[in-house]
Structures are given as structure tokens and as C-alpha cells.
């Protein structure tokens, strides 16, 4: 049975879109960018701010009620309902460790029928937090699971068998529908 490792933010949910729409644009009405213009992740240079300012704003949104209650990607929920039982699934996210309880709860609340394992790579570990793995590939090698990684960020897909989830910064030109068709083809080969 194929085991799929799913990135959470910007794959299972639309964190960046919601942050940009609900947090960034209202406080920066002069911003002329559209979500589709965010060709870099992190997008701080496109926004004309320091990376730490961007991360602080994103973390503030993650801690908000809206950030904790993101709507799951409806196309992926439909895919899971139709094809999810034919595979094993795990969630693998890179984000601040202090946000892990909220995102783990979110994953289990919306995808717990299918996703039975949750892994986190602390994205900005403090000096007192041990770093076991530096990349998602290292984590998947350690856990000896995950035949394919679904991720939106190119650097996270390095060194592992992966499918790029379509986002403005993911380096893809296909749609979510085309992505799901590709993924379904891999599942049907099993």
C-alpha cells in the first residue's frame, strides 16, 4: 500500500492565502500584489519587508482564531473520501514547535479518518530544542515511511520522491485538478 506524506500548510489548508488576505492586505492597503504574485516562499522580499517581520506576522496569524480554524482544502477532502482508503497517510509539517498542538489537532479534526501519523520539523528551533532532522527527506528516511511527499515548497521536495502541490511559488504550471489526476494515477498503479 502506498504511503503518502502530506505537507499541511498550503497543501491540506490555505494558510498563506488566508494570511495574505486576512492579515497582510488589511494592514497594508497600499500593497498592489495579488496572491498569485507570491512567487517566492517566504515572500518577504516581494512584500518589501525583512524576513523576521514576515515570520512574526505569519506566526501572529497562526495563533489567531482564523489561523487555528482554517478551512481544509475541499478538493483534497474530496480526493481523500474517494481514494484515501487505498493508501496510508501521514502529515509532515515544518513550522514553529509551539504551534504543533494546534496544527496536529486541526489535521486530526479534518483528515483523521485517513492520516494516522503526524510529524513536525521545528522550523525555528530554540537553543534548547534538539534538532533530529533538518529536512523532510531526513525525517522520512528516519521513520522509514512515505513513498511520496506532497509539498508546495521546492526545497522540501529535494532528495525524496515528491509531487509538487500547485501554489504560486511551487514551480508548477498545472492546476489542482491536474495534480490530483497525477496522484490518482500513482495510487491506481499500486
Query: What pLDDT, on the 0 to 100 scale, is given for residue 125?
Result: 83
Whether 111 and 138 map to the same domain: the answer is yes
Domain check: are 76 and 141 in the same one? yes
CATH number at residue 149: 3.40.50.1000
For residue 190, the model assigns a pLDDT of 82
**pTM attached to this predicted model:** 0.96
Q: Are 8 and 48 part of one and the same domain?
A: no
Beta strands 88-95 and 162-164: pairing type? unpaired
Nearest-angstrom CA–CA distance, 141 and 144: 5
Average pLDDT over residues 134-138: 94
User: Structurally, how many domains does the chain consist of?
Assistant: 2
The pLDDT value recorded for residue 52 is: 96
Q: Exposed, middle or buried, 5 (CB in 10 Å: 0-12/13-18/19+)?
A: buried
Q: Which residue has the cell 490518482?
A: 184
Q: What is the reported pLDDT for 115?
A: 98
Per-residue pLDDT at 10? 98
Tens of pLDDT, residues 11-32: 999 999 999 999 999 999 999 9
Task: Say which residue the cell 534538532 belongs to.
Answer: 131
Average pLDDT over residues 82-97: 96
| Residue 126: per-residue pLDDT | 83
For residue 42, the model assigns a pLDDT of 96
Q: Are residues 10 and 101 in the same domain?
A: yes
Q: Do residue 64 and residue 121 come from a single domain?
A: no
3-class state of residue 45 by DSSP:
helix
The pLDDT of residue 62 is above 90: yes
What sign results for the dihedral spanned by CA atoms 35, 38, 44, 45? negative
Q: Clarify whether residues 21 and 7 are in a common domain.
A: no
- What is the distance between the alpha carbons of residues 67 and 96, in angstroms, rounded to a whole number? 14
Domain that holds residue 121: 3-14+72-188
* 81 and 45 fall within a common domain: no
- Residues 106, 36 within the same domain: no
**Is the domain of 60 the same as that of 88?**
no
> How many C-beta neighbours within 10 Å does residue 33 have?
15
- Average pLDDT value for the chain: 96
What's the pLDDT at 169?
98
Q: Do 60 and 147 fall within a single domain?
A: no
Residues 19 and 7 in one domain: no
Percent of the chain with pLDDT over 90: 95
User: What kind and span of H or E run contains 53?
Assistant: helix 51-63
45 and 81 share one domain: no
User: Taking 90 as the threshold, does the pLDDT of residue 33 lie above it?
Assistant: yes
Amino acid at each position: 500500500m502506498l504511503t503518502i506524506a502530506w505537507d499541511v500548510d498550503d497543501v491540506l489548508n490555505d494558510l498563506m492565502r488566508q494570511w495574505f488576505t486576512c492579515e497582510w492586505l488589511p494592514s497594508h492597503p497600499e500593497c498592489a500584489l495579488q496572491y498569485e504574485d507570491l512567487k517566492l516562499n517566504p515572500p518577504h522580499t516581494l512584500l518589501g519587508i525583512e524576513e523576521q517581520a514576515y515570520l512574526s506576522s505569519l506566526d501572529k496569524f497562526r495563533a489567531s482564531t482564523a489561523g487555528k480554524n482554517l478551512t481544509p482544502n475541499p478538493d483534497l477532502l474530496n480526493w481523500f473520501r474517494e481514494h484515501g482508503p487505498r493508501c496510508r497517510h501521514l502529515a509532515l509539517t515544518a513550522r514553529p514547535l509551539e504551534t504543533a498542538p494546534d496544527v496536529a489537532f486541526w489535521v486530526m479534526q479534518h483528515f483523521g479518518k485517513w492520516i494516522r501519523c503526524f510529524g513536525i520539523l521545528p522550523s525555528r528551533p530554540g537553543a534548547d530544542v534538539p534538532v533530529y532532522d533538518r529536512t523532510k527527506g531526513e525525517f522520512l528516511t528516519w521513520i522509514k515511511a512515505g513513498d511520496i511527499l506532497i509539498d508546495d515548497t521546492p526545497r522540501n521536495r529535494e532528495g525524496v520522491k515528491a509531487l509538487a502541490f500547485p501554489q504560486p511559488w511551487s514551480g508548477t504550471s498545472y492546476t489542482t485538478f491536474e495534480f490530483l489526476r497525477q496522484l490518482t494515477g500513482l495510487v491506481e498503479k499500486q
